[in-house]
C-alpha cells in the first residue's frame, strides 16, 4: 500500500511539474508579445513517415514483431517567432506526433535487450517537462510537446537565449564527439531538427570575426532533482587564421566528466579537411577523434560530392564482444548510449558518402558505415525528390552487412538470438508551409 501511495504521489508531482513548467515557459515566451512586434515569423511542416523492417529467423525482433514490422508516424511542427527593434526575441516550436507501431516513441535500456528500432522522446530528465501524452495503447501513441521555447536578447555583437533550444558544435559529418548535447544518430535519415534541451546560451562576436559561445544545460537526476551533477557547462572559442583556416577550442563540464576539445578546418587542394580531437576525464579517461575529407566536382554533367570520415571512439569495445555481460563491463559507454549522446559500440569506424545531383530537384546519396573492429557495415541508399515548392519525398533503403554478433550484423541478445534485421525501407512525404 505504501508503494502504491508513493507511485501516486510521484505521478501527481510529475503532473503538477508538467503543468507548472508548461505554463511558466509559455508565459515567458509570450511576455515580449505585449510589446509591438517588429517582425513575426510563422512556418512549419507536416510529415508522414513509413518504415518497415524484414527480420530473419535468428533475429530477436522476429519473436517480438513477427517476420515484418511496420511503423507509421505523422508529425506536425509549427514555429512562431518574433524579433523587435529593441533586441528582444521570442520563439516557440509546437509538435504534435502520432505513431502506429510497437512502442514507436519508446526504447528499452541497451543492456536489457532490444535497441536500434525506436526513438526516444522523454522530458523527465529535462528542466521542463513539456511533453504530454494524449493517447497511448499497445501499438499506437499520440503526444504533443514544445521542442523549442526561447526568450532572448540580441545586439550587434551579443546574443543570449533562455529556454528550450538546440546547439550543434563540432565538425563531424556522421560521427561527432564534440557535439555531446543531443547529437544525431549517424545513421538517422531525417536530420532536419535536433531535439531541444533546456539551457542558457550566449554568444559574443569579436571585432576580428572570432566568437565566444557559452552554454549551460540544466537537467534533472533520477529523483527529478535539479543538480549540477547531471548538468552541462561548456565554453567554446571559434577563430580564424588568415581568414582561411578555422579552429575551435572547447572546455566543458558534462555530467561527472571534464571535457576539452580542439578542432580545425583547412582547405587542401580544393577539398575540405576537418578534424576534432576530444579528451574526457571522469570515471574513465579517454580520447575521441573524428577526421573527414570532403570534395565536390562535376561528373557526367552532374554536381557530385564525395566524403570519407574516420572516427575513433575512445570508449568503444575493441574485441567485438557486445554481449550483455561485456556491456556491463563498460558502464560509461552504456550510460552515454542510453542518454542518446553516443551511438557507437566499437572502437574504429569509417564512413563514406557519395552525393549525386541527378537533376536540380532530385538527388541520390549513398552512405556506407564500416565498423573496422568487427568487419560489419551498414549501407544506405537515399533519394530526395522535391515534388514542388512545398512538397518533398524522401525514400531510403538500408541494408546491414556482417555476421551474427557484430554491431551492424546484429548484436547477440541471447543464445541464437540477435538484434538484427535483413533490410529496412523508409519513405517520408513532407509538406512545408
Cell of 152: 532572448
As beta bridge partners, residue 234 has: 215, 252
pLDDT tens, residue order, the chain (433 aa): 434 434 433 344 444 455 454 554 455 444 444 445 568 999 999 999 999 999 988 898 888 788 888 889 999 999 999 999 899 999 999 999 998 876 444 433 444 433 433 444 779 899 999 999 898 887 788 999 999 999 999 999 999 999 999 999 999 999 999 999 989 999 999 999 999 999 999 999 999 999 999 999 999 998 999 999 999 999 999 999 987 899 999 999 999 999 999 999 999 989 999 999 999 999 899 999 999 999 999 999 999 999 999 999 999 999 989 988 888 899 999 999 988 899 999 999 999 999 999 999 999 999 999 999 999 999 999 999 999 999 999 999 999 999 999 999 998 888 888 889 999 999 999 999 9
Question: Spelled out in words, what is the top-level CATH class assigned to the domain 2-432?
Answer: mainly beta
Contacts of 122 (CB under 8 A, 6+ apart): 131
Whole-prediction pTM value?
0.86
CA distance 344 to 57: 25
- CA-wise closest residue to 69 among 380, 426, 433: 426
d(CA 263, CA 274): 7
Determine the Cα–Cα distance for residues 79 and 151; give it in Å rounded to an integer. Answer: 14
Amino acid at each position: 500500500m505504501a508503494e502504491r501511495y508513493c507511485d501516486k504521489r510521484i505521478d501527481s508531482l510529475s503532473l503538477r511539474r508538467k503543468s507548472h513548467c508548461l505554463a511558466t515557459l509559455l508565459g515567458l515566451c509570450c511576455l515580449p508579445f505585449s510589446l509591438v512586434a517588429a517582425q513575426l515569423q510563422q512556418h512549419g511542416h507536416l510529415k508522414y513517415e513509413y518504415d518497415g523492417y524484414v527480420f530473419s529467423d535468428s533475429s530477436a525482433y522476429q519473436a517480438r514483431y513477427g517476420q515484418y514490422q511496420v511503423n507509421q508516424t505523422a508529425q506536425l511542427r509549427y514555429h512562431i517567432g518574433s524579433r523587435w527593434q529593441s533586441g528582444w526575441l521570442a520563439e516557440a516550436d509546437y509538435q504534435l506526433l502520432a505513431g502506429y507501431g510497437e512502442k514507436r516513441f519508446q526504447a528499452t535500456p541497451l543492456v536489457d535487450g532490444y535497441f536500434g528500432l525506436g526513438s526516444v522522446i522523454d522530458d523527465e530528465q529535462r528542466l521542463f517537462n513539456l511533453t504530454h501524452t494524449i493517447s497511448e495503447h499497445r501499438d499506437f501513441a499520440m503526444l504533443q510537446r514544445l521542442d523549442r521555447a526561447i526568450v532572448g536578447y540580441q545586439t550587434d555583437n551579443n546574443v543570449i537565449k533562455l529556454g528550450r533550444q538546440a546547439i550543434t558544435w563540432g565538425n563531424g559529418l556522421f560521427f561527432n564527439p564534440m557535439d555531446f548535447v543531443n547529437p544525431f544518430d549517424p545513421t538517422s535519415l531525417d536530420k532536419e531538427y535536433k531535439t531541444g534541451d533546456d539551457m542558457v546560451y550566449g554568444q559574443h562576436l569579436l571585432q576580428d570575426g572570432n566568437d565566444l559561445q557559452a552554454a549551460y544545460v540544466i537537467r534533472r537526476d533520477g529523483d527529478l532533482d535539479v543538480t549540477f551533477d547531471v548538468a552541462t557547462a561548456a565554453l567554446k572559442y571559434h577563430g580564424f587564421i588568415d581568414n582561411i583556416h578555422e579552429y575551435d577550442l572547447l572546455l566543458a563540464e558534462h555530467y561527472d566528466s571534464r571535457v576539452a576539445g580542439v578542432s580545425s578546418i583547412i582547405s587542401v587542394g580544393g577539398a575540405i579537411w576537418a578534424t576534432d580531437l576530444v579528451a574526457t576525464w571522469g570515471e574513465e579517461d579517454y580520447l575521441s577523434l573524428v577526421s573527414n575529407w570532403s570534395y565536390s566536382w562535376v561528373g557526367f554533367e552532374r554536381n557530385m560530392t564525395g566524403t570519407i570520415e574516420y572516427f575513433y571512439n575512445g570508449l568503444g569495445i575493441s574485441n567485438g564482444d557486445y554481449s550483455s555481460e561485456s556491456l556491463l563491463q563498460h558502464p560509461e559507454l552504456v550510460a552515454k548510449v542510453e542518454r542518446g549522446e553516443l551511438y557507437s559500440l566499437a572502437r574504429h569506424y569509417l564512413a563514406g558518402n557519395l552525393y549525386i545531383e541527378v537533376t536540380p530537384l532530385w538527388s541520390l546519396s549513398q552512405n556506407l558505415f564500416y565498423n573496422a573492429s568487427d568487419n560489419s557495415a551498414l549501407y544506405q541508399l537515399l533519394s530526395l525528390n522535391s515534388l514542388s515548392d512545398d512538397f518533398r519525398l524522401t525514400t531510403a533503403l538500408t541494408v546491414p552487412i556482417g555476421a551474427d554478433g557484430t554491431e551492424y550484423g546484429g548484436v547477440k541478445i541471447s543464445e541464437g538470438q540477435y538484434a538484427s534485421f535483413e533490410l529496412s525501407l523508409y519513405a517520408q512525404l513532407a509538406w512545408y508551409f
